[in-house]
A and B are shown apart, each in its own frame.
Chain A
Amino acid sequence: MSNEIKTMDKSPIVKKKNTDEAVESGLAKLTRERIKNTINQVLQNETGPRFKAYVETCMHCGLCAEACLYFLSNDRDPSYSPAGKVKQTIWEMLDKKGEVSIDFLRRAVHIAHLECNVCKRCSMYCPFGIDIAYLMLMVRRICHKLEITPLYIQDTVNSHSATMNQMWVKEDEWIDTLQWQEEDAREEFENLRIPLDKVGADIMYSVIAPEPKFQAGLIYQMATIMHAAGVNWTMPSTPGWDNSNMAMFTGDNEISGRIARAFYETAARLKVKRVVMGECGHAFRSTYDVGNRWIGWAMPPFEVVHALEFYHELLTSGRIKIAQKYKKTVTLHDPCNVSRGRGLHDMAREITNMLCESFIEMTPNREHNYCCGAGGGVINCGPPYKGERMVNNRVKAEQLKATGAEVLIAPCHNCHSGLEDIIHHYNLNMEVKFLGDIIFETMEKKIYQSGD
């Protein structure tokens, strides 16, 4: 196969199961009693008939294997197959009635946090529709309760807990960043505003904490898009502005619920008609699908619109016009949480075709696209695991390479970071862009000339 990429091309990576200090120090403190009680408490009291049906009905047919990026990237090693991961975690916990060893738990943390993106692709390859991602999240829940969650992702949860945002952004820094972006943008666009706390605005725009932390330019871009389209919008100045939710991925459901509640309450306080959020997948999953459930809303109490859908609306209604189409060849990565998670894949294609001259489809695509390998909190487990993540993403690299495109559009932050890593590691010579980047580049915008 011409598109096959061998990991040998790069400096050799020793494929060992990494660990980190948080996991190790947590494991060192555990007693047999606590392990047993915690596992049984979660499996008996926090699950229900759904869990039981998933475990009892699985016929061990192995068809889910074909779905999994990890299984395929590791030369079909069965221990990476979705059901194989359940066997190494949940089945054994049930078999031994919670009396598992420290080594077992070290392996279980690793499987649930680093060998599964909870992307739910496997549910589409199981004839019974068994939700294996849910089972892996249950393992993470147990790890959380045993306090053996990997260090870096736990730090983001600690930040959520203390500041209601993922990156320890202080309140004044947040406001200052928005005003700094507004000020910069006003040098190019006349009367551009980033309105803070505007009660009764049509739209509350919400981002994830990495944007003010190190990608403030994205806020700038969105402000120019809002400005060009003449949208009545606002951004909150108070905690609740960050829509990301790493606690959702560590099984810290209590914090996860607090984050979602703060988010909706902010929208309620501002009395906006709906919430538009930046190009992030997991944040969308939290506010559209998961966080709301924990705090008792079947569906979100506000209309939550992903940037992709919002752009589609602006472009099709003509509120934003494209001056000149993007010239480079582009391909599109469907993020799990907005395609498999919200069915926005066809809209993404329409936008891409409106913006770009030459669009090359990658295969598989839409609901069946491979995960970027970073999502579900995997990349958030940080540097100790990057090497193995690259090995686990080989098939994704092959899929990208086969397109031959110059630019890779990925409307999701997590995907972005993960795909950047893949591209560098496998020397793919592609540029990763958000849809917003391309809209900003191609749209008609009236740049302010001094003296106008």
Chain B
Amino acid sequence: MNAFIDFIMGPMVWITFLIFILGLILKIVLILKDVNAREPYIYSYMTLKHSLRSIAAWSIPFFPKSTKQSPVFYGVSYIFHLLLFLVPIFLTAHIVLVNEAFQVSWIALDDSIADILTIMVGLGLVFFMIRRMMVPEVKYLTSCKDYLLILIVALPFITGFIAYHQFFLYRPMVIAHVISGEIMLILIPFSKFSHMIVAPLTRAYMGSEFGNVRHAKDW
């Protein structure tokens, strides 16, 4: 058992980050290779200016019309995505681990604030889940895979929260936290989570088609 724990907390962390980062790089490389091989004309339309213009417009909260029409969804979504990165990166416990390994550290969130933010991530996921169950046009598109994605993101936050507070089963929770976190990171390049890097590309392309060819706004 101890050997297993050593593995998931040691080499597996390395493996996870390697797969996560190399996977994302590989994903981009494969897309670009595929574009070069099969749709190289895309480059005749893409411009940096219009790509960035579109990405920027869609990054300003409540600026695109769609965001004004669905303010609750976008509001929750902005906060959720932001916290998804902020909470794990600025969590004291994580920084301590990094510091032990590499002697580097950075500013940490106050634990009580991190606690609240973790609950907010959870509430965000609950919101997405309820929306999938209740809103007809979303329900229509939803399959169990979509709930699975929610679960995969939820698990590291839930287990981390329980482990931090030592509510019950402290050691198993820590192990579950590490494993679920690793699963989530490993899956990012190979699942719909890859929208993390593919969405800016599709946005850039549509932004270029609209800006460069159509001389119109796409937000």
Q: A129 contacts B35, CB within 8 Å?
A: no
User: B218: CB under 8 A from chain A?
Assistant: yes
User: B41: CB under 8 A from chain A?
Assistant: yes
Q: A59-B195, A65-B137 are in contact. Are A298 and B34 (CB under 8 A)?
A: no
Tell me which of A19-27, A81-89, A142-150, A161-169 binds B.
A81-89
Pick the contact of B38: A48, A67, A345 (CB < 8 A): A48
User: A54: CB under 8 A from chain B?
Assistant: yes
Q: A49 contacts B35, CB within 8 Å?
A: yes
Q: A53 contacts B215, CB within 8 Å?
A: no
Q: A129 contacts B54, CB within 8 Å?
A: yes
Provide the residues of chain A in CB contact with B65, threshold 8 Å. Answer: 124-125, 364, 368
Provide the residues of chain A in CB contact with B31, threshold 8 Å. Answer: 49, 53
User: A130: CB under 8 A from chain B?
Assistant: yes
Would you give the shortest CB distance from B206 to chain A, in whole angstroms?
Answer: 3
Q: B192 contacts A298, CB within 8 Å?
A: no
Pick the contact of A298: B44, B138, B216 (CB < 8 A): B44
Q: A343 contacts B216, CB within 8 Å?
A: yes
Q: B205 contacts A48, CB within 8 Å?
A: no
User: B161: CB under 8 A from chain A?
Assistant: no
Give the residues from 140 to 195 in chain B that come closer than 8 angstroms, CB to CB, to chain A: 140-143, 146, 192, 194-195
Q: B41 contacts A76, CB within 8 Å?
A: no
Determine the residue in chain A with the shortest Cβ distance to B141: A60
Provide the residues of chain B in CB contact with A53, threshold 8 Å. Answer: 31, 198, 201-202
Task: Give the complex CA separation of A53 and B192 in angstroms.
Answer: 10
Q: B137 contacts A62, CB within 8 Å?
A: yes
Q: A293 contacts B140, CB within 8 Å?
A: no
User: B103: CB under 8 A from chain A?
Assistant: no
Pick the contact of B66: A52, A66, A87, A340 (CB < 8 A): A66
B interface, how many residues as a size bin?
35 or more
Q: B199 contacts A298, CB within 8 Å?
A: no
User: B53: CB under 8 A from chain A?
Assistant: no
User: A182: CB under 8 A from chain B?
Assistant: no
Would you give the shortest CB distance from A229 to chain B, in whole angstroms?
Answer: 25
Provide the residues of chain B in CB contact with A56, threshold 8 Å. Answer: 192, 194, 198
Would you give the shortest CB distance from B24 to chain A, in whole angstroms?
Answer: 14
Give the residues from 340 to 366 in chain A that come closer than 8 angstroms, CB to CB, to chain B: 340-343, 345, 364
Provide the residues of chain A in CB contact with B198, threshold 8 Å. Answer: 53, 56-57, 128
Task: Give the complex CA separation of A78 and B198 in angstroms.
Answer: 26
User: A131: CB under 8 A from chain B?
Assistant: yes
Provide the residues of chain A in CB contact with B137, threshold 8 Å. Answer: 62, 65, 71, 76, 78, 81, 83-84
Provide the residues of chain A in CB contact with B66, threshold 8 Å. Answer: 63, 66-67, 124-127
Would you give the shortest CB distance from A303 to chain B, in whole angstroms?
Answer: 14
Pick the contact of A339: B136, B213, B216 (CB < 8 A): B216
Q: B54 contacts A57, CB within 8 Å?
A: no
Q: B135 contacts A62, CB within 8 Å?
A: yes
Determine the residue in chain B with the shortest Cβ distance to A60: B141
Q: B215 contacts A57, CB within 8 Å?
A: no
User: B58: CB under 8 A from chain A?
Assistant: yes
Instruction: Identify 7 new A-B residue pairs, CB closer than 8 A, beyond the known A50-B42, A58-B192, A66-B69.
Output: A50-B205, A53-B201, A57-B195, A61-B141, A78-B136, A125-B69, A131-B206
A-B contacts, 21 listed (Cβ < 8 Å): A48-B34, A49-B38, A50-B202, A59-B192, A59-B195, A62-B140, A62-B141, A63-B70, A66-B69, A66-B70, A78-B137, A127-B66, A127-B199, A129-B206, A130-B202, A130-B206, A289-B214, A298-B45, A341-B216, A343-B216, A364-B65
Kindly list the 9 A-B residue pairs having the minimum CB-CB distance in the complex, ordered from nearest: A129-B206, A343-B215, A78-B140, A48-B38, A62-B138, A60-B141, A49-B34, A298-B44, A65-B137
